[in-house]
A and B are shown apart, each in its own frame.
Chain A
Amino acid sequence: MAAPLTTKIAENLINSSVPTQTREIINVCELSLYYGAARALAEISLKIRENVVTAFIGPSGCGKSTLLRCLNRMNDLIDNVRIDGRCEIGGHDIYGPEVDVIELRKRVGMVFQKSNPFPKSIYENIAYALRLHGMKKKSDLDAMVEKSLRQAALWEEVKDRLHSSGLGLSGGQQQRLCIARAVAIQPEILLMDEPASALDPLATARIEELVLDLKKDYTIVIVTHNMQQAARVSDYTAFFYLGRLVEFNTTRKVFTNPSQKQTEDYVTGRFG
């Protein structure tokens, strides 16, 4: 929180060295998604690199959240959804017949728009998934809970009240608890669906710092309404409009020299 937010945009756009050598871990290939007869995503193709932050931007209803939820198959929960095309993670088609959705979701974690801690204690919120996936020993659980809370920059604030309710935290703390919960099971990819849209500017700044920190260990895909946020935290940006991928490039390119007129209009605030 040292530098003002506008300075951060400049830093990210001018100084950052965008990693171009890392592995392409997510490979979406001509993916279309239908809710009943309505097409929500039209032949999306994009490749997402490991250990970078990729932002999905675009106006409401453009399909950015829908695509995000394809990546850990959360759309399976909705009736009447049909998906065409391929979506590979680490070289495996996640919509293939032999895929174990449970295993997939362990490897592809998710943080939601509305913070949704379980009505349990802070400790139990994190231990829940660890226990499900077989961790039993109290000392292991204790260690992982602390590690996750530290990773989510929440440890110092809650270490004295681990056994009080997760719902007693502030909105920003709840969202960081959800991030801690997601990273506790050590996924490779972290999907964030507008993680800061319900938070005040200070809490938003903390989440953004956290995203930059977590980039070291995780591949992050973040959906955001807030273009400044995309410019501050992401290395790559994908711009969606009406279910189509309009432009996908480094964030610097998208924000300073977009190739499409629609992208330019959107990032300069002429519509959306």
Chain B
Amino acid sequence: MQTSSSQPRSTAEFSRTHFDAWSFLFTGVTGVCTYLIIAILLIILGNIVFNGYSHFTWRFLTTGVDRGMYDPETAGVLPMIIGTVSRIILMTIFVIPVGVITALYMTEYAQNSSLGIRIIRGAVANLAGVPSIVFGLFGWGFFLNYLGSHMDQMLHPEAAKAVWGKPALVWASLTLAVMTLPVVIVATEEALKSIPPGLREASLALGATKLETVLRIVLPQAMPGILTGGILAISRAAGEVAPILFTGAVSFYPDLPKALTDPFMDLGYHVFILSTQSPNIEQTRPLLYATVMTLLLLTFLLNIMAVLVRARIRRRLRSFQ
């Protein structure tokens, strides 16, 4: 201070004296990476839409495969849309109650530090990391071969053909439910943990039972979080093929699935069939692109619907906050 007080300060002290090459480089690298991702996404989507839109017609969406699977002029994707939507809806019906009840037990009922809960937490974390093909094999072994064939022995001992012990909508949905269980459990747990403990105490101090507190105070507050779990589960399950490969999806089944025990055609699996099994790849290509486009749009639509439902519930809750 003493040395500089003799002469007036000049702004030159703050002027740039050198070019910071590293900063410039790093700004550039991070920017390029970001735009690269966007570019890749646009190329993929653009490619699909460009090649697929001409065949993405109302007729394509509403006809089946009665007159062959590979002719772009006659084949459609109605059975695959119905199959994919049914397996996702059924999966949601299976996974949400089980996942929510598990999370409720872990956060509301069990002692937090007990050995059992730590084991369950570890199991849930590990379940999330299991490759989906392993779930497919598990579903085939447990649901189809074990549960299904035992049900046949008990319910249909006289039947010549297996009713339950074969690939079926219900087994595929259950396998997907097992696969997405950790997602729902973790999302619900987070939602439950974020509810102030004071609300539970207030309810209990008024002479409410634990069950009344959980049903009337805790669960309504956790609904948006539970739906987030549902959305994540749907997103994950919609595009999966491996878990349903052995448990329900078939390459050709022209009827729409009508019963839980019916096999079904699936959009994702159909993409694989079209691209590998077609006798004339060139001729099938537009059909393939239109099918991929359908799968993307369907996943997108299911997500939008779930997000809208969640927004509605959030709004309703927020009007009381």
Contact = CB atoms under 8 A, between A and B. Distances in A.
Contacts of B113: 79
Contacts of B207: 102-103, 105-106, 129, 132-133, 185
A109 B320 contact: no
Nearest to A166: B320
Contacts of A105: 204-207
Q: How large is the interface on A (under 10, 10 to 19, 20 to 34, 35 or more residues)?
A: 20 to 34
B304 interface: no
Contact of A112 (B201, B217, B319): B201
B112 interface: yes
A55 interface: no
B101 interface: no
Contacts of A133: 207
Contacts of B204: 74, 77, 105
A90 B215 CA distance: 32
Interface residues of B, number: 23
Contacts of A165: 319-321
A205 B166 CA distance: 74
B320 A119 contact: yes
B216 interface: yes
Contacts of A117: 202
A60 interface: no
B153 interface: no
A178 B112 CA distance: 29
Contact of B202 (A79, A106, A118): A118
B317 interface: yes
Nearest to B195: A119
Interface in A58-99: 72, 74, 77, 79
A128 B206 contact: yes
A114 B201 CA distance: 11
A120 interface: yes
Contacts of A77: 201, 204
Given A112-B198, A118-B199, A119-B320, A79 B111 contact: yes
A224 B293 CA distance: 66
Contact of A116 (B112, B202, B221): B202
Contacts of A120: 320
Contact of B321 (A110, A119, A128, A185): A119
Given A129-B206, A132-B207, A116 B212 contact: no
B321 A74 contact: no
A185 B113 CA distance: 35
B201 A182 contact: no
Interface in A148-171: 165-167
Contact of B208 (A74, A132, A166, A182): A132
A114 B208 CA distance: 19
Contacts of B278: none
B117 to A, nearest CB: 12
B157 interface: no
Interface string B106-126: 000001110000000000000
Interface in A118-143: 118-121, 128-129, 132-133
9 contacts: A77-B201, A79-B111, A106-B206, A112-B202, A112-B205, A128-B206, A167-B321, A185-B206, A185-B207
Interface of B: 111-113, 196, 198-199, 201-209, 212, 216-217, 221, 317, 319-321
Interface of A: 72, 74, 77, 79, 102-103, 105-106, 109-110, 112, 114, 116-121, 128-129, 132-133, 165-167, 178, 181-182, 185
Given A112-B205, A118-B199, A167-B321, 4 more contacts: A72-B205, A105-B204, A112-B202, A119-B199
